[in-house]
Structure 1
Amino acid sequence: MTQILLIFITALLFSVLATPVARRVALRTGVVDAPAARKLHLAPVPLLGGGAIYTAFVVALILFGDQAYVRELIGILLGATLVSLFGLADDRWGLNAYVKLGAQALAGAILILGGTQVRLFPVEWMNWAITLFWVVGITNALNLLDNMDGLSAGVTTVAAAYFLLLAAMSGQYLVGAMAAALIGACVGFLRYNLNPATIFMGDAGSLFLGFLLAALAIKLRFPSNVPWVTWLVPVCVLAVPIFDTSLVFVSRLRRGKNPLTTPGKDHVSHRLTALGLTRREAVLICYLLGCGAGMVAVYISQARAPDGYVAAGLLAAAMLAGIVWFERRQGGG
C-alpha cells in the first residue's frame, strides 16, 4: 500500500510541476489549439499537456514501481508511447484519421506481443481480434471525449480509481500501480485543465490515456469469479466514454456523416450545456455518471452470472435510452 501511495504522490507532483513547463514549450513552438467554429475556447490554448501526463506517469513507475513487473510493463509502455507520438504529430501538423487508426492497431499488436491480451475464447485469433477492437475503440473513445475543459482527464481519474479499487480487491499489484500513477498524473494536470483551462492535453494526451485504460482493463483479473461474468466489469467502468462515442456515432451516421472525420458539438458534454448547464456542471455530471457506472462494475465483479448480466443489462438499457432521448430532443449538431 505504501508503494502505491508513493507512486500516486510522485505522479501528482511531477504532473503539477511539468504541466507549466509543457505550457511554455507549447507556446514557444506554436503547438496550440486555435479557436474555431466547432470549438469552445476563444483564444489559442497550448496543447502539450499530454507530455506532462506521460512524463509524470512514467517517472512515477520507474522510481517506485516493482522491478519484477518490468517485462509486463514494457509492451504497455511501448504501445502507449507509439500512440502518444502519433497524437503529438497530429497536434503539431495534423494527421489523417486513418493514419492514427493504423498506429493504434500497431500499438495494439505490440500489446499482444508483450503478453497483454483478452483471454475469453479457446481460439487464439478471436482473442487477438477482440483485443485490437477493444484497444482501438477505447483509445478513440477517450480521444473523442476530450472536448471540454477537464472532461477527459477527470473521467480517466474516476475510471482509474475504480481500476485501483478492483485491483486491490483481487491482489493485482501491476494494475494497481499503473492506476495510481494514472490518477496522480491526471489530478496534477487537472490543476491547470479545469475550466477555464490554461492548457489542453491534445491528442498526445487523450490517446495515451485511452490506450492505458484499455490496457488496464485487459490486465485486470478476478480469480474469485468467472471470465464470462467479469468481462463486463471494464465495460462498465468505461461506460462514460463508451456512451459518448456510441452517441456520436449514432448521431453522425443517422445524419449521413462520417463519424471519424466529421467534427461537431454532438457529444454528451455539448448536449448537457445545450440543456442549460454550465460547462463545469456538464463535466461534473459526466464524473458522477462515471462514479455510478463504476459502482455497477464493482457489484458485477462479485456477482454470479444471472445477477451480473441483469446489472449490466440495466446499465446498457439506460445508455440506450439516453442516446434515444438526446437524439429525439436535440438531434445532434
Structure 2
Amino acid sequence: MSYASDFVTEIPVWGYGLVFLIALSIVLISIPIVKRFALQWGFIDQPSARKVHQQPIPRVGGISIFLGTTIALCAIFLLNLFNVLSIELHSAIWSVVLGSICFFLIGFVDDSVGLSPISRLLVQLSVSSYVWLADVRIEFVTIPGLGLTHLGWLSLPVTVIWLVGVVNAINWIDGLDGLASGVSGIAATASFIICVYTGQYTAALLVVALSGSLLGFLYYNFNPAQIFMGDGGSYFIGFLLAGVAVIGLVKGATVTAIFLPFLILAVPIFDMSAVIVARLRQGCSPFLADKRHLHHRLLQAGLSHRSTVLVIYAIALWVGSLAITFVGMPNSLVILGGATGLLGYMSWKAWQSAR
C-alpha cells in the first residue's frame, strides 16, 4: 500500500518530541490557574445521582487542553521550525484546527450557561458543514457487496455525521476520572504513529500536540480527579481526533484506510452506539442521560473505579494496536501481541477484584 506525503521532508523525531513537551508543560503549568479560575467563577461540577464523584470539582479543565495544544502548534508554525512555512499546507489542516477551536467554544459556552440539546446539535452541524466546505471530507465508504464506493453528494452528510458523532462519543464517555482523557490519549497516540508511518506529517503534528496536552491533563484528572475537562475539552478533543482521521488517515481510497478511524475510536463509538440503541429500544430520547454506558455497567458488575478505567484503557490500546497492525507497520504484530496480553491480564485482574 502506498501513501502520499503531505510534507516534502520528514519532521525529525526530536521535533515531535518538542511539540509534545511544549503542550505537556503548558497544561501542567496552567491547570492550577484554571482551577482557581473555575472556583472563583463557579464553574463547578456538582455531585448527582447519575455521577460518580462525591464532591464538587472544577469542570473547565478543557481550557488547559485547548491552550496546550494550540500554543504548541502555534509555536511550531510561527517560529517556522522544521521549515514548515515553506511547504504548501493543505487548507484542510487549518480547517481542522479552526473547527476544533469553534467546538471548544461551543463546549465552553455549554459549560458556562448551558445549551439545550437541540441548539447545541444545530451549532455542531453548522460548524461541521462549514469544515466540509473547506475540504475536510470523507469521499469513500465500503459497502458490503459493492466494495469501495465514491460518495458524491452524500459526502456532506457522512462527513458531518462522523465529525459530530465522534465529538459526542468522546463527550459521552467522559463519565469517570481519567476515562475520556486516557482513551483519547491512546487514540491520539495511535493516530500519530499511523500518520507518521504513512507520511501524513502535518496531521501527525496535530495529534502529537494533543497527546502531550492529554498526558499533562491526566496527571490532574486520574482518579481521584482534581479537575474535569468539561464539554469544552471533550468537544475540542473529539473534533481534533475526528478531523485528523479524515485528513490524515482516510487519505487513500482503500478499504484499510477507511476502516482505520473506526478501529482507533472504537471504544467511544461503540459505547455511544450501544447506548443510543438501548435508549431507543425502550422508547427513550437518545439524548436522555442515564447509566447505560460501558463504564457504568462495569461498575455495576463490581469493578472498582480505577479497575474500570484501566480495563477500558486496555481495550482502547488493543484496538489502537490492531489499527497499527493493519497499515503493515514493521513489528506491529509484537505491539498487538503485547496489547492482547495486557488486555487479558487486566480483564483477569478485574474479574478477580469483582468476585
Q: Which residue of 1 aligns with 2:129?
A: 109
Deviation at 1:288, TM superposition (A): 0.6
Alpha carbons of structure 1 residues 132 and 175: separation in structure 2 relative to 1, 3 Å: same
Q: Within 1, Cα distance between the matches of 2:74 and 2:318? A: 33
Q: Which residue of 1 aligns with 2:162?
A: 134
Following TM superposition, the consecutive aligned residue runs of length 4 or more in structure 1 with deviations greater than 6 angstroms are none
Q: Within 2, Cα distance between the matches of 1:123 and 1:141? A: 24
Which residue of the other structure, out of 184, 188, 198, is the alignment partner of 1:170?
Answer: 198
Question: Higher helix proportion, which one?
Answer: 1
What SS does the aligned partner of 2:327 have? helix
**1:180-329 → structure 2 map (5 Å cutoff):** 180-221=208-249, 226-260=253-287, 262-302=288-328
Contact 1:91–1:202 under 8 Å retained in 2: yes
| 5+ residue gaps, structure 1 | 304-333
Alpha carbons of structure 1 residues 222 and 144: separation in structure 2 relative to 1, 3 Å: closer
Q: Within 1, Cα distance between the matches of 2:261 and 2:150? A: 21
Q: Within 2, Cα distance between the matches of 1:107 and 1:80? A: 9
Q: Which residue of 2 aligns with 1:81?
A: 101
1:152 and 2:180 aligned: yes
Deviation at 1:221, TM superposition (A): 4.0
Deviation at 1:163, TM superposition (A): 0.4
Q: Deviations over 1:273-323 (max 9, x none)?
A: 1111111111111111011111221233349xxxxxxxxxxxxxxxxxxxx
What SS does the aligned partner of 2:227 have? coil
Deviation at 1:129, TM superposition (A): 1.8
What SS does the aligned partner of 1:220 have? helix
Contact 2:96–2:244 under 8 Å retained in 1: no
Contact 1:3–1:64 under 8 Å retained in 2: no
Q: Which residue of 2 aligns with 1:118?
A: 138
Deviation at 1:22, TM superposition (A): 0.9
**TM-score of the two chains, using structure 1 as the length reference:** 0.86
1:49 and 2:61 aligned: yes
Alpha carbons of structure 1 residues 130 and 48: separation in structure 2 relative to 1, 3 Å: same
**TM-score of the two chains, using structure 2 as the length reference:** 0.81
Deviation at 1:130, TM superposition (A): 1.1
Contact 2:125–2:160 under 8 Å retained in 1: yes
Deviation at 1:124, TM superposition (A): 3.2
Q: Deviations over 1:246-289 (max 9, x none)?
A: 121122122221111x1112111111111111111111111110
Q: Which residue of 2 aligns with 1:310?
A: none
Question: Identity of aligned pairs, percent?
Answer: 35
Deviation at 1:222, TM superposition (A): 6.9
Contact 1:249–1:259 under 8 Å retained in 2: yes
Alpha carbons of structure 1 residues 37 and 134: separation in structure 2 relative to 1, 3 Å: same
Q: Within 2, Cα distance between the matches of 1:81 and 1:36? A: 30
Q: Which amino acid aligns with 1:199?
A: I
Deviation at 1:76, TM superposition (A): 1.3
Deviation at 1:109, TM superposition (A): 1.7
Superposition CA RMSD, Å: 1.7
Deviation at 1:74, TM superposition (A): 2.4
